[in-house]
Structure 1
Amino acid sequence: MPHTPETNSAPEASHYSHPAIVLHWLVAVAMVANVALILSVEHIPEDWIRPAIDTHKSLGITVLGLALLRLLWRIGHRPPPLPSAYPRWETVSAHAVHGLLYVVIFWMPLSGWLHDSAWSEAATHPMQLFGTIGWPRIGLIENLPPSTKEPLHDLFGALHRWGGYVLYGLVFLHIAGALKHQFFDREAVLRRMWFSRR
């Protein structure tokens, strides 16, 4: 009987579904683009700053919508289990990082939306998604007296900024863990979040 060489390729059941993969990468690309955009604000001409910030807001709302779709999809479609060979600490760590990533992915656009709604000039600068579709502020915040909104604007801005730092750390851990398993442990984990061949 001929010998069949063992491979590290994951079986079909170990892949995420195609909608989950699409939503994962759309969220990832949108968030990377948004971080790059806001970090570039200090280095672009002054006339470009307001359009850049408006685009940052639009991308944030887009991420919020995509993340909500992904969460709803995940509720009805369980993700593939992690390989049983993982030590318990790695399994627990992976689930913890994934869970915190979900929290931060929602928190970033929500805190930005709250921050923008508390902006003192919000009434004179209507918010539009990519300059075309009107998007409301959070009325409960926007309609507060100016003396109340000002400290809230600072608070939500600080929470948004610190949430970004947490996001950077979690993304680093997420990528580092995937690369460790792919290249050091020789496990085909990256295929889990890519389109499989039927």
Structure 2
Amino acid sequence: MVQRYTGIAIALHWIVALLIVTNVALALTWDFYPDAQVRPAIDLHKSIGITILGLAILRILWRFTHRPPSLPAGYARWEVTASHVVHWGLYAILFAMPLTGWIMDSAYEKAATTPMYLYGLVQWPRIGFILALDPATKKAVHDGFGAAHEIIAYAVYALFALHIAGALKHQWVDGVKELQRMWPGRR
């Protein structure tokens, strides 16, 4: 019998995965949009990022209060270690990406006069102490956290690839029902 994650853990996993893929697609394609569509795409990217941050908090709380199923027997020690490193790296990124983006956005030179709206509906606050910085410091914060946001994106790609490769290796090479542990649907 396959030991599965809880329904909540499965839902959070796939919702966050879908939001991350959407945000990556937005970031990689908005340079090709007509000028009138660039700002709405960036605003949607910010809204999705904040949503991911909220869901990441829920995921961590759920993870700490609901023990995940044990890894199947027979995994090599290095595979178990790699699994834990990749998973905790992905958790770290779920916080690092939205936070660096929010800090960068709060340091945007026109942040004080250009409100940010969550999905165009609710005004989302900028980080006040960053808004209050002098212009030169604010630019340095904007540029530094923008660079960090971009570097972390490469970590997303690498860890995502390792996560998928590990799951597929166990499923198809080792013959372990790995995907069934996290796949939505009936047990």
TM-score bracket for this pair, using the shorter chain length: over 0.9
1: CA distance, partners of 2:78 / 2:6: 26
Task: State whether residues 118 and 142 of structure 1, in contact with CA within 8 Å, keep that contact through their aligned partners in structure 2.
Answer: yes
Match of 2:179 in 1: 190
Matched, 1:152 2:141: yes
Structure 2 gap ranges (5+): none
Residue pairs, 1:15-54, within 5 angstroms? 15-54=4-43
Higher Rg: 1
Residue pairs, 1:83-122, within 5 angstroms? 83-122=72-111
TM-score w.r.t. structure 1 length?
A: 0.92
Matched, 1:75 2:35: no
Out of 52, 58, 72, the residue aligned to residue 63 of structure 1 is 52
Q: Which amino acid aligns with 2:38?
A: I
Q: Which amino acid aligns with 2:123?
A: G
Count residues with an aligned counterpart. Answer: 187
Once the two structures are TM-superposed, the CA of residue 196 in structure 1 deviates from its matched residue by 5.4
Once the two structures are TM-superposed, the CA of residue 96 in structure 1 deviates from its matched residue by 0.6
Once the two structures are TM-superposed, the CA of residue 195 in structure 1 deviates from its matched residue by 3.5
Match of 1:3 in 2: none
Once the two structures are TM-superposed, the CA of residue 117 in structure 1 deviates from its matched residue by 0.5
Note the aligned Cα RMSD (angstroms): 1.0
Q: Which amino acid aligns with 2:58?
A: L
Structure 1 gap ranges (5+): 1-9
Once the two structures are TM-superposed, the CA of residue 100 in structure 1 deviates from its matched residue by 0.6
Once the two structures are TM-superposed, the CA of residue 197 in structure 1 deviates from its matched residue by 3.0
Task: State whether residues 11 and 184 of structure 2, in contact with CA within 8 Å, keep that contact through their aligned partners in structure 1.
Answer: no
Residue 134 of structure 1 aligns to a residue in which SS?
Answer: strand
Match of 2:159 in 1: 170
Task: State whether residues 15 and 196 of structure 1, in contact with CA within 8 Å, keep that contact through their aligned partners in structure 2.
Answer: no
Match of 1:126 in 2: 115
Task: State whether residues 26 and 41 of structure 2, in contact with CA within 8 Å, keep that contact through their aligned partners in structure 1.
Answer: yes
TM-score w.r.t. structure 2 length?
A: 0.97
Residue 11 of structure 2 aligns to a residue in which SS?
Answer: helix
